Structure 1
Amino acid sequence: MLLEFSCSNYKAIKEKIVFSMVAGSDKSHQEELYEFDDYRVSRITSVYGANGAGKSTLIDAVGYLGFLVRECVKFQEGDKIPRTPHKLSAEKPTAFDIQFVVDGIRYAYGFSMNDVEFLDEYLYHFPSGRQAKIFEREGTKFSYGIKYKKELSQLESKTKSNKLFLTTAEAWCSLKEIIHPFRFFKEELIVHGIGPDNWFEYSAEQIRTNSGMKQILVVFMQKIGIPIKDIQVKIENRQLTTQDMPLELLNKVQMLTGMGSLQTIEVKFVYKDYILNINEESQGTQKLFKLLCPFIDVLVNGKVLFYDELEASLHPALVDELIHTFKNWKSEKNPQLIFSSHDTSLLDLDLFRRDQIWFAERNPRLCTTEYYSLVELKNVRKDDNIKKGYINGRYSTIPLKGSSLIEVLGGE
């Protein structure tokens, strides 16, 4: 599970921000918190803010961190690191730090980088509650914890300046203290943004191969008023031809990727009297198909899910059902959900703790996005109407506060 994430100089984030899942001293909803060592950890957190305030940037930053850990092994020597620093800090490093738990052990990992190299990197763990070094890296200089030096020091020469040592080491060593943190980024940290994703393919494959998952999806859709009887999935790989693209482009694709086939996925919803292709269904039904399988996977397997604009294309009652499922899920594993939203009906202290409601706000003076939780604000009582306060701009800046579209258009 996730404990804390921080970053600086990434897109709208200029100065260092800290996002924490560690609960404060508030006693509300404490039965829903996870216990870990001396920590109490939230299982669910929401992020609010005006359009352009930076809600998506936080989620994107977490996704980018995971991308670098998983994919930097593919960077060739001399390749630039794909980086998007703040527009006013392009020459300064970008930095990430994260603390998380795998198999009951807390890890702390972080690094900084510019466009061409990783400048520093570290990995610590806390096997007995006290920090112990696994490795540190400063440019081309490495140091290690005593029990890891023999195996890890042999991998220095395999680590290029534009690759992370954690990623390189995972490919060559057998140390669980390397493999487990890497597994967190590869398998347990799930990030869904508002851009293109492969959740449709994942869900189609699950429905095709996992009858239990298919039954859950069919029954759930029936319960919310979509009277389907079955879901049919057909996945085929066919050879690319000149009908798909010009011959010259086809040859280049095959030469560069080694791929000569195209995967086609056909999903149909079977009703009592007719069958519909999923593309003929509503946006909400299509989103449910893509969302539920990964959502169930996160719950069952105890993963961490970041989801941007959870309520988009979904009825408020469905969003409420998803949130209550997460809040009330009983398992030995510890799934977590962090989502951004504009749905003010969820701003309710009967639903969330104050440290589970976060805000993103753009600081015009510093030209950066800042993040803070409701618990950090003064004079917020447990009986306050959080929804009303948010709409009135009490907790963060809201669009058109003090003005109106009529005024902008020049009307009275």
Structure 2
Amino acid sequence: MILRYNISNFLSFNDTTEFNLFIGDYRRFDNHVYKFKDLDILKLTSIYGANATGKSNLVKAFDYLRDAVLEDDLTKLKVPSFKGNEDKPTELEIEFITKNTAYIYGFELLRDNIIKEYLYYSGISKKDTLIFDREVDKNGVSKIEVNKKLLKTKKFQILKDHYEERVNSNQLFLNLIGDIDLGDLSNEIEAVIKWMIKMQVIFPTSKPQYLVSNLLNEPSFMDFTRDMLCSFDTGIKNLHIKEFNISEYFGEDDKDLVNDLIEDLEKNDGEDIPLSVDMIVTLKEGEPVVKRLYVEHIGFGTNNLFSFNEESDGTKRLIEFMSMLYNLIVKEGDFSVYIIDEIGRSIHPSLLKEFLSKLSREDQIKGQLIFTTHESNLLDLNMLRPDEIWFAEKNRERGNTEFKTLAEFKKIRPDLNIRKGYLNGRFGGIPILANFDDLNWTEYASN
């Protein structure tokens, strides 16, 4: 669960900008609140803003953090600093909870080289406790302090000193020792990396890779997806997964592709290979087969199934979101975090609102959903709390992104028409339009 994220000198974020999921002074929708010790954390958050205000840059900042932890060469990522600030360091710091422990992880980098990196147990409102703290000098040499309680033997201390010398300035220490046994230090780092990997950052063009595998391997997920799609009145009656011989499916012209896929299956011990959202190659009783998702519509029967690609963009997007909804509503285990840019892409506003309303009404939301949107139809205090509604605006003089929440405005009553106020510009987050009556359209006409 994310507590807060501090961003500095990254894309449209100039000075340190905080995005957090702490509750405001509201008592509605207790099911939207996760309680951790004495802290209350929100499970749902929406971010509104006109084009080019920077709301998508927040999603990119989460994505960069995740990629940096997994990448062994930061120069491949090319940190995008605030325009004109290329000679200043970029700082990213996230505070989060996993396995019932709160952590703070962050780093500073300049031109893709680390200056500082640190990991602490978060004390929330009290003093934080060191796990490790890394400083990098001008020559790229790291000095790393580690909590002595986490390095209980001389062997682990020697190994730590060894990797302290090996870590490059264009690499995170977290990345380097992710697979190294350093005792209790490794246990903490493993927990952090696993949480980072599990954090799902979804852009408008993102596609789920393991939808078909999950439908096959989890019967409860198949039942859930089928029931949800029917309840959304999409015209879908059922989902089917058909099986094909791999050679017959691809034919002689794709013989080389078939051989490559069979070779990849052998290398990966038969692990499923996603070919598209609706199709995988897998092993059945030791033989490679293609499995593909098909959709049955009301009135057409099982002899007239539709391929995934024949569905509307909105229906396809809804099916792609089923794994997320299942994890947030049904699946047990460590909570999932989903961060979605432009959640309403291709989905009809009424369908999107019904989708989010179902989640909002759940007694036990098992994770967090953070999303950006333009869709004013979602501005409904019967679905979201005021502290779950954020607005992104661009400072017109300095060009940087600034955030504020609806909870910061006075007199926010439960019966207030938030949508109307938003469209009238009361809360910001909408385009500042020119006076169209003053535009001389005819001068652009061709003669």
CA displacement at 1:372 relative to structure 2: 1.5
2:90 is matched with which residue?
94
Superposition CA RMSD, Å: 3.3
CA displacement at 1:363 relative to structure 2: 0.9
**Within the alignment, does 1:339 sit opposite 2:336 as a pair?**
no
SS of the aligned residue for 1:171 comes to coil
1:267 is matched with which residue?
293
Distance 2:353 2:21 in 1: 21
Structure 1 letter corresponding to 2:241: Q
- Alpha carbons of 1:227 and 1:353: their partners in 2 closer, same or farther (altered >3 Å)? closer
2:397 is matched with which residue?
365
Deviates more, 1:50-59 or 1:230-239: 230-239
Distance 1:214 1:123 in 2: 39
CA displacement at 1:382 relative to structure 2: 4.7
CA displacement at 1:223 relative to structure 2: 2.4
Alpha-carbon deviations, 1:176-205, whole Å to 9, x = none?
A: 221111111012x1110123x241x22122
SS of the aligned residue for 2:18 comes to strand
SS of the aligned residue for 2:439 comes to helix
Given that residues 46 and 358 in structure 1 are in contact (C-alpha distance below 8 angstroms), is that contact kept between their aligned partners in structure 2? yes
Task: Give the TM-score normalised by structure 1.
Answer: 0.85
CA displacement at 1:80 relative to structure 2: 5.2
Residues 194-273 of structure 1: matches in 2 within 5 Å?
A: 194-195=204-205, 197-199=206-208, 201-225=209-233, 226-233=235-242, 263=275, 265=279, 266-271=292-297, 272=301, 273=303
Deviates more, 1:23-32 or 1:44-53: 23-32
CA displacement at 1:298 relative to structure 2: 4.2
CA displacement at 1:61 relative to structure 2: 0.9
Alpha-carbon deviations, 1:112-166, whole Å to 9, x = none?
A: 1122411101100047964210000111111121212463444313322111111
1:177 is matched with which residue?
188
SS of the aligned residue for 2:369 comes to strand
Gaps of 5+ in 1: none
SS of the aligned residue for 2:354 comes to helix
- Alpha carbons of 1:31 and 1:192: their partners in 2 closer, same or farther (altered >3 Å)? closer
Residues 302-341 of structure 1: matches in 2 within 5 Å?
A: 302-331=335-364, 334-341=366-373
Q: State the percentage of identical aligned residues.
A: 27
2:197 is matched with which residue?
186
- Alpha carbons of 1:33 and 1:183: their partners in 2 closer, same or farther (altered >3 Å)? same
Given that residues 328 and 366 in structure 2 are in contact (C-alpha distance below 8 angstroms), is that contact kept between their aligned partners in structure 1? no
Distance 1:401 1:80 in 2: 39
Structure 2 letter corresponding to 1:304: V
Given that residues 17 and 370 in structure 1 are in contact (C-alpha distance below 8 angstroms), is that contact kept between their aligned partners in structure 2? yes
Structure 1 letter corresponding to 2:406: L
Distance 1:112 1:236 in 2: 52
Given that residues 236 and 295 in structure 2 are in contact (C-alpha distance below 8 angstroms), is that contact kept between their aligned partners in structure 1? no
Distance 2:440 2:98 in 1: 55
Residues 117-132 of structure 1: matches in 2 within 5 Å?
A: 117-126=113-122, 130-132=127-129
Distance 2:191 2:394 in 1: 36
Structure 1 letter corresponding to 2:315: T
**Within the alignment, does 1:83 sit opposite 2:79 as a pair?**
yes
* Aligned residue pairs, count: 395
SS of the aligned residue for 1:119 comes to strand
Residues 281-320 of structure 1: matches in 2 within 5 Å?
A: 281-299=311-329, 300=331, 301=333, 302-320=335-353
Higher Cα Rg, which structure: 2
Given that residues 105 and 127 in structure 1 are in contact (C-alpha distance below 8 angstroms), is that contact kept between their aligned partners in structure 2? no
Gaps of 5+ in 2: 137-141, 280-291, 443-447
Distance 2:114 2:244 in 1: 41
- Alpha carbons of 1:25 and 1:397: their partners in 2 closer, same or farther (altered >3 Å)? closer
- Alpha carbons of 1:262 and 1:47: their partners in 2 closer, same or farther (altered >3 Å)? closer
Task: Give the TM-score normalised by structure 2.
Answer: 0.79
1:7 is matched with which residue?
7
